[in-house]
A = this chain, B = another copy of it.
Amino acid sequence: MTKPDALHELSTLLGQRLSTSKFELEAHGRSESYFPTTLADAVAFPDSTEEVSEIVKICGRHGLPVIGWGAGTSLEGHALAKQGGVIVDFRNMNQIYDLHAEDMSVTVQPGITREALNEELRATGLFFPVDPGANATIGGMASTRASGTTTVRYGTMRDNVMALEVVMPDGRIVRTGSHAKKSAAGFDLTALMIGAEGTLGLITELTLKLQGQPEAVGAAVCAFDNISDAVATVIETIQFGLPMARIEFIDAATAAAVNAYSGSELPLTPHLLVEFHGSEAALAEQAEVFGGILAEHGGKGFDWATAPEDRKALWHARHHAYWAILNSRPGCRAVVTDLCVPISRLAGAVEATRTDIDQSGLQGPILGHVGDGNFHAILMIDPERPEELDRAKELSDRMVKRALFMGGTVTGEHGVGYGKLEYMPMEHGEGWDVMAQIKAALDPMNIMNPGKVVRFGE
Chain A: residues with CB nearer than 8 A to chain B?
100, 102-105, 144-147, 151, 155-156, 158-159, 168, 172-176, 178-189, 191-192, 194-196, 200, 211-212, 235, 239-241, 279, 281-282, 285, 338, 340-344, 372-374, 403, 407-416, 420, 423-424, 427-435, 437-438, 440-442, 453-454
Rounded to whole Å, the gap between the CB of A406 and the closest CB of chain B is 8
Cβ-defined contact, B343 with A103, below 8 A? yes
Q: Which of B185, B192, B434 makes the CB contact (< 8 A) with A427?
A: B185
Contacts of A420 in B (CB 8 A): 185
Rounded to whole Å, the gap between the CB of A28 and the closest CB of chain B is 22
Q: What is the bound-complex CA distance between A411 and B178, given in angstroms?
A: 11
Cβ-defined contact, B427 with A105, below 8 A? no
Cβ-defined contact, B438 with A187, below 8 A? yes
Q: What is the bound-complex CA distance between A83 and B410, given in angstroms?
A: 42
Contacts of A158 in B (CB 8 A): 182, 188, 191
Cβ-defined contact, B424 with A434, below 8 A? no
Q: Which of B151, B173, B185, B279 makes the CB contact (< 8 A) with A182?
A: B151
Cβ-defined contact, B431 with A180, below 8 A? no
Cβ-defined contact, B235 with A102, below 8 A? yes
Rounded to whole Å, the gap between the CB of A382 and the closest CB of chain B is 28
Cβ-defined contact, A187 with B407, below 8 A? no
Q: What is the bound-complex CA distance between A156 and B188, given in angstroms?
A: 13
Contacts of A241 in B (CB 8 A): 211-212
Rounded to whole Å, the gap between the CB of A152 and the closest CB of chain B is 8
From known contacts A180-B342, A407-B180, infer whether A186 and B438 are also in contact, taking CB-CB under 8 Å.
no
Some 29 contacts from A to B, beta carbons below 8 A apart, are A102-B343, A105-B342, A145-B183, A145-B184, A155-B159, A158-B191, A172-B430, A175-B428, A175-B431, A176-B428, A178-B340, A178-B407, A178-B409, A179-B407, A181-B373, A182-B372, A183-B409, A184-B412, A184-B415, A185-B410, A185-B411, A185-B420, A186-B424, A186-B435, A187-B196, A188-B191, A188-B195, A438-B441, A440-B441
Rounded to whole Å, the gap between the CB of A204 and the closest CB of chain B is 14
Rounded to whole Å, the gap between the CB of A384 and the closest CB of chain B is 31
From known contacts A285-B281, A344-B103, infer whether A187 and B195 are also in contact, taking CB-CB under 8 Å.
yes
Q: What is the bound-complex CA distance between A83 and B279, given in angstroms?
A: 56
Q: Which of B181, B338, B428 makes the CB contact (< 8 A) with A186?
A: B428
Cβ-defined contact, A181 with B100, below 8 A? no
Cβ-defined contact, B235 with A189, below 8 A? no
Cβ-defined contact, B239 with A434, below 8 A? no
Q: What is the bound-complex CA distance between A56 and B306, given in angstroms?
A: 59
Select the residue from A155, A181, A340, A372 with max chain B CB neighbours within 10 A: A181
For A191, the closest partner residue in chain B by CB is B191
Q: What is the bound-complex CA distance between A291 and B442, given in angstroms?
A: 52
Q: What is the bound-complex CA distance between A430 and B168, given in angstroms?
A: 10
Q: What is the bound-complex CA distance between A196 and B194, given in angstroms?
A: 17
Cβ-defined contact, A182 with B196, below 8 A? no
Q: Which of B105, B156, B409 makes the CB contact (< 8 A) with A185?
A: B409
From known contacts A409-B183, A441-B440, infer whether A102 and B344 are also in contact, taking CB-CB under 8 Å.
yes
Select the residue from A159, A173, A407, A427 with max chain B CB neighbours within 10 A: A407
Rounded to whole Å, the gap between the CB of A138 and the closest CB of chain B is 16
Q: What is the bound-complex CA distance between A196 and B413, given in angstroms?
A: 26
Cβ-defined contact, B195 with A340, below 8 A? no
Cβ-defined contact, B435 with A189, below 8 A? yes
Rounded to whole Å, the gap between the CB of A5 and the closest CB of chain B is 28
Nearest 8 CB-CB pairs, A to B? A191-B191, A441-B441, A179-B407, A183-B409, A180-B340, A212-B241, A102-B344, A180-B408
Cβ-defined contact, A342 with B179, below 8 A? yes
From known contacts A179-B408, A413-B182, infer whether A192 and B191 are also in contact, taking CB-CB under 8 Å.
yes
Q: What is the bound-complex CA distance between A188 and B145, given in angstroms?
A: 10
